[in-house]
Amino acid sequence: MAGRPRSGAERLTRSGIVAAAIDLADAHDLAALSMRSVARQLGVMPMSLYNHVANKEELLDGMVDAVFAEFYAPVPGAEWRSEVRRRAVTARDALKRHPWAVGLMDSRRNAGYETLLHHDAVIGCLREAGFSLTLTGHAFAVLDAHLYGFLIQEVSMPFQPGQDLAELANQIVAALPEGQLPYFREFTIEHALQPGYDFGDEFEVGLDLVLDGLAQQLAVADRGRAS
Protein backbone atom coordinates (compact mmCIF):
# COMPACT_ATOMS: atom_id res chain seq x y z
CA MET A 1 0.00 0.00 0.00
CA ALA A 2 1.44 3.36 -1.08
CA GLY A 3 2.15 5.85 1.69
CA ARG A 4 0.46 9.22 1.81
CA PRO A 5 2.20 12.09 -0.05
CA ARG A 6 4.73 13.84 2.15
CA SER A 7 3.99 17.44 3.11
CA GLY A 8 6.28 20.36 2.35
CA ALA A 9 7.38 20.43 5.99
CA GLU A 10 8.30 16.73 5.90
CA ARG A 11 10.40 17.30 2.78
CA LEU A 12 12.17 20.28 4.33
CA THR A 13 15.96 19.93 4.60
CA ARG A 14 18.84 22.38 4.73
CA SER A 15 19.91 21.48 1.19
CA GLY A 16 16.33 21.89 -0.05
CA ILE A 17 16.10 25.33 1.54
CA VAL A 18 19.41 26.39 -0.01
CA ALA A 19 18.32 25.10 -3.43
CA ALA A 20 15.06 27.04 -3.20
CA ALA A 21 16.95 30.18 -2.22
CA ILE A 22 19.29 29.79 -5.19
CA ASP A 23 16.33 29.37 -7.56
CA LEU A 24 14.78 32.52 -6.13
CA ALA A 25 18.00 34.54 -6.43
CA ASP A 26 18.62 33.27 -9.98
CA ALA A 27 15.17 34.43 -11.02
CA HIS A 28 14.90 37.70 -9.09
CA ASP A 29 18.36 38.57 -7.67
CA LEU A 30 19.23 38.92 -3.99
CA ALA A 31 16.84 41.82 -3.46
CA ALA A 32 13.97 39.32 -3.54
CA LEU A 33 15.62 36.93 -1.07
CA SER A 34 14.29 36.67 2.48
CA MET A 35 13.42 33.83 4.81
CA ARG A 36 9.77 34.60 4.10
CA SER A 37 10.18 34.50 0.31
CA VAL A 38 12.09 31.20 0.50
CA ALA A 39 9.35 29.72 2.71
CA ARG A 40 6.78 30.85 0.17
CA GLN A 41 8.83 29.21 -2.59
CA LEU A 42 8.76 25.94 -0.65
CA GLY A 43 5.11 26.23 0.38
CA VAL A 44 5.84 26.17 4.12
CA MET A 45 5.56 28.58 7.03
CA PRO A 46 8.62 30.85 7.52
CA MET A 47 9.27 29.64 11.06
CA SER A 48 9.80 26.09 9.81
CA LEU A 49 12.98 27.19 8.03
CA TYR A 50 14.67 28.06 11.32
CA ASN A 51 14.82 24.40 12.29
CA HIS A 52 17.41 24.02 9.52
CA VAL A 53 18.91 27.48 8.86
CA ALA A 54 19.56 29.93 11.69
CA ASN A 55 19.10 33.13 9.68
CA LYS A 56 19.56 34.77 6.30
CA GLU A 57 23.32 35.07 6.75
CA GLU A 58 23.62 31.32 7.24
CA LEU A 59 21.41 30.83 4.19
CA LEU A 60 23.77 33.01 2.12
CA ASP A 61 26.71 30.95 3.40
CA GLY A 62 25.00 27.82 2.15
CA MET A 63 24.19 29.37 -1.21
CA VAL A 64 27.80 30.43 -1.79
CA ASP A 65 29.00 26.98 -0.75
CA ALA A 66 26.65 25.40 -3.29
CA VAL A 67 27.99 27.63 -6.07
CA PHE A 68 31.59 26.73 -5.19
CA ALA A 69 30.55 23.08 -5.55
CA GLU A 70 29.75 23.83 -9.22
CA PHE A 71 33.34 24.94 -9.92
CA TYR A 72 35.70 22.31 -11.29
CA ALA A 73 38.20 21.34 -8.57
CA PRO A 74 41.75 21.08 -9.97
CA VAL A 75 43.49 17.79 -9.33
CA PRO A 76 46.78 18.11 -7.41
CA GLY A 77 49.55 16.39 -9.35
CA ALA A 78 47.87 16.81 -12.74
CA GLU A 79 49.20 19.29 -15.32
CA TRP A 80 48.57 22.56 -13.50
CA ARG A 81 47.87 24.87 -16.42
CA SER A 82 45.07 22.81 -17.96
CA GLU A 83 43.60 22.10 -14.52
CA VAL A 84 43.57 25.75 -13.44
CA ARG A 85 42.25 26.82 -16.83
CA ARG A 86 39.38 24.34 -16.62
CA ARG A 87 38.61 25.58 -13.12
CA ALA A 88 38.37 29.19 -14.34
CA VAL A 89 36.16 28.35 -17.32
CA THR A 90 33.72 26.28 -15.26
CA ALA A 91 33.68 28.93 -12.53
CA ARG A 92 32.69 31.56 -15.09
CA ASP A 93 29.92 29.29 -16.38
CA ALA A 94 28.62 28.78 -12.83
CA LEU A 95 28.69 32.48 -12.04
CA LYS A 96 26.82 33.30 -15.23
CA ARG A 97 24.11 30.92 -14.03
CA HIS A 98 24.17 32.64 -10.63
CA PRO A 99 25.18 36.29 -11.27
CA TRP A 100 24.05 37.33 -7.79
CA ALA A 101 26.97 35.33 -6.37
CA VAL A 102 29.76 37.29 -8.06
CA GLY A 103 30.28 39.69 -5.17
CA LEU A 104 29.77 37.08 -2.46
CA MET A 105 32.14 34.26 -3.27
CA ASP A 106 35.01 35.20 -0.96
CA SER A 107 33.10 37.50 1.38
CA ARG A 108 31.57 35.00 3.80
CA ARG A 109 32.95 34.79 7.35
CA ASN A 110 31.74 31.20 7.78
CA ALA A 111 33.06 29.35 4.77
CA GLY A 112 31.34 26.03 4.09
CA TYR A 113 33.02 22.70 3.48
CA GLU A 114 32.63 22.85 -0.34
CA THR A 115 34.26 26.28 -0.31
CA LEU A 116 37.23 25.06 1.72
CA LEU A 117 37.46 21.85 -0.32
CA HIS A 118 37.64 23.88 -3.52
CA HIS A 119 40.30 26.23 -2.18
CA ASP A 120 42.33 23.27 -0.97
CA ALA A 121 42.19 21.72 -4.45
CA VAL A 122 43.39 24.91 -6.17
CA ILE A 123 46.21 25.41 -3.66
CA GLY A 124 47.16 21.73 -3.87
CA CYS A 125 47.31 21.82 -7.66
CA LEU A 126 49.64 24.83 -7.60
CA ARG A 127 51.82 23.48 -4.79
CA GLU A 128 52.25 20.07 -6.42
CA ALA A 129 53.28 21.87 -9.64
CA GLY A 130 56.15 23.51 -7.80
CA PHE A 131 54.65 26.89 -6.90
CA SER A 132 56.11 28.26 -3.67
CA LEU A 133 53.71 29.40 -0.97
CA THR A 134 54.31 33.02 -2.02
CA LEU A 135 53.83 32.31 -5.72
CA THR A 136 50.73 30.24 -4.92
CA GLY A 137 49.28 33.27 -3.16
CA HIS A 138 50.10 35.48 -6.15
CA ALA A 139 48.59 32.96 -8.57
CA PHE A 140 45.35 32.45 -6.66
CA ALA A 141 44.90 36.22 -6.23
CA VAL A 142 45.43 37.14 -9.87
CA LEU A 143 43.35 34.22 -11.18
CA ASP A 144 40.39 35.20 -9.03
CA ALA A 145 40.88 38.90 -9.80
CA HIS A 146 40.51 38.05 -13.48
CA LEU A 147 37.54 35.73 -12.87
CA TYR A 148 35.47 37.98 -10.61
CA GLY A 149 36.51 41.23 -12.26
CA PHE A 150 35.56 39.95 -15.69
CA LEU A 151 32.22 38.65 -14.43
CA ILE A 152 31.35 42.03 -12.91
CA GLN A 153 31.86 43.60 -16.34
CA GLU A 154 30.16 40.79 -18.24
CA VAL A 155 26.95 40.71 -16.23
CA SER A 156 26.72 44.51 -16.45
CA MET A 157 26.86 44.72 -20.24
CA PRO A 158 23.92 46.73 -21.69
CA PHE A 159 23.41 44.15 -24.44
CA GLN A 160 23.46 40.37 -24.79
CA PRO A 161 25.54 38.21 -27.17
CA GLY A 162 23.76 37.74 -30.48
CA GLN A 163 21.54 40.78 -29.95
CA ASP A 164 20.95 43.01 -32.98
CA LEU A 165 23.36 45.85 -32.33
CA ALA A 166 22.29 48.14 -35.18
CA GLU A 167 20.05 50.32 -33.03
CA LEU A 168 22.60 50.49 -30.21
CA ALA A 169 25.36 51.33 -32.70
CA ASN A 170 23.29 54.18 -34.13
CA GLN A 171 22.64 55.58 -30.65
CA ILE A 172 26.32 55.45 -29.69
CA VAL A 173 27.55 56.94 -32.96
CA ALA A 174 24.97 59.72 -32.82
CA ALA A 175 26.12 60.67 -29.32
CA LEU A 176 29.81 60.92 -30.26
CA PRO A 177 31.12 64.49 -30.60
CA GLU A 178 31.94 65.16 -34.23
CA GLY A 179 35.67 65.05 -34.89
CA GLN A 180 36.53 63.92 -31.35
CA LEU A 181 37.34 60.60 -29.66
CA PRO A 182 38.79 59.06 -32.85
CA TYR A 183 40.16 55.91 -31.21
CA PHE A 184 37.01 55.20 -29.24
CA ARG A 185 34.97 55.77 -32.42
CA GLU A 186 37.16 53.40 -34.42
CA PHE A 187 37.09 50.67 -31.76
CA THR A 188 33.35 50.95 -31.19
CA ILE A 189 32.22 51.07 -34.79
CA GLU A 190 34.78 48.79 -36.42
CA HIS A 191 35.13 46.19 -33.69
CA ALA A 192 32.84 46.16 -30.65
CA LEU A 193 29.62 46.75 -32.60
CA GLN A 194 30.40 44.43 -35.49
CA PRO A 195 28.17 41.34 -35.99
CA GLY A 196 29.49 38.37 -34.05
CA TYR A 197 31.35 40.38 -31.43
CA ASP A 198 30.96 38.89 -27.96
CA PHE A 199 32.65 40.51 -24.99
CA GLY A 200 32.62 37.11 -23.30
CA ASP A 201 35.21 35.85 -25.79
CA GLU A 202 37.74 38.10 -24.09
CA PHE A 203 37.64 35.97 -20.93
CA GLU A 204 39.77 33.11 -22.18
CA VAL A 205 42.16 35.50 -23.96
CA GLY A 206 42.81 37.25 -20.65
CA LEU A 207 42.96 33.93 -18.81
CA ASP A 208 45.69 32.65 -21.12
CA LEU A 209 47.68 35.86 -20.60
CA VAL A 210 47.45 35.30 -16.83
CA LEU A 211 48.51 31.66 -17.19
CA ASP A 212 51.42 32.66 -19.46
CA GLY A 213 52.61 35.09 -16.82
CA LEU A 214 52.32 32.51 -14.04
CA ALA A 215 54.17 29.92 -16.12
CA GLN A 216 56.96 32.44 -16.66
CA GLN A 217 57.17 33.19 -12.93
CA LEU A 218 57.27 29.46 -12.15
CA ALA A 219 60.08 28.96 -14.66
CA VAL A 220 62.08 31.79 -13.07
CA ALA A 221 61.58 30.25 -9.64
CA ASP A 222 62.63 26.82 -10.93
CA ARG A 223 65.83 28.28 -12.39
CA GLY A 224 66.54 30.01 -9.08
CA ARG A 225 66.17 26.75 -7.18
CA ALA A 226 68.39 24.91 -9.65
CA SER A 227 71.24 27.44 -9.52
What's the pLDDT tens digit per position in 110-126? 889 999 999 999 999 99
Tens digits of residue pLDDT in 155-187:
887 666 555 566 676 777 778 788 888 888 888
Tens digits of residue pLDDT in 66-107:
999 999 999 999 999 999 999 999 999 999 999 999 989 888
CB neighbours (10 Å) of residue 203?
Answer: 19
| 63-157: CATH class | mainly alpha
Q: What pLDDT does residue 159 have?
A: 63
Q: What pLDDT does residue 1 have?
A: 41
Q: What pLDDT does residue 155 have?
A: 85
Enumerate the domain spans of the chain.
7-53, 63-157
What is the rounded end-to-end Cα distance, in angstroms, of the chain?
77
CA distance 224 to 227: 5
CA distance 81 to 209: 12
- State whether CATH 3.10.20.30 applies to domain 7-53: no
Tens digits of residue pLDDT in 184-211:
888 888 888 787 888 889 999 999 999 9
CB 193 within 8 A of CB 165: yes
Q: Can you tell me the mean pLDDT for 17-26?
A: 95
- What does pTM read for this prediction? 0.86
Tell me the helix, strand and coil percentages in the chain, rounded to 5: 70, 0, 30
CB 18 within 8 A of CB 66: yes
Q: Would the CATH topology of 7-53 be identical to that of 63-157?
A: no
Confidence of residue 25 (pLDDT cuts 50, 70, 90): very high
CB 145 within 8 A of CB 137: no
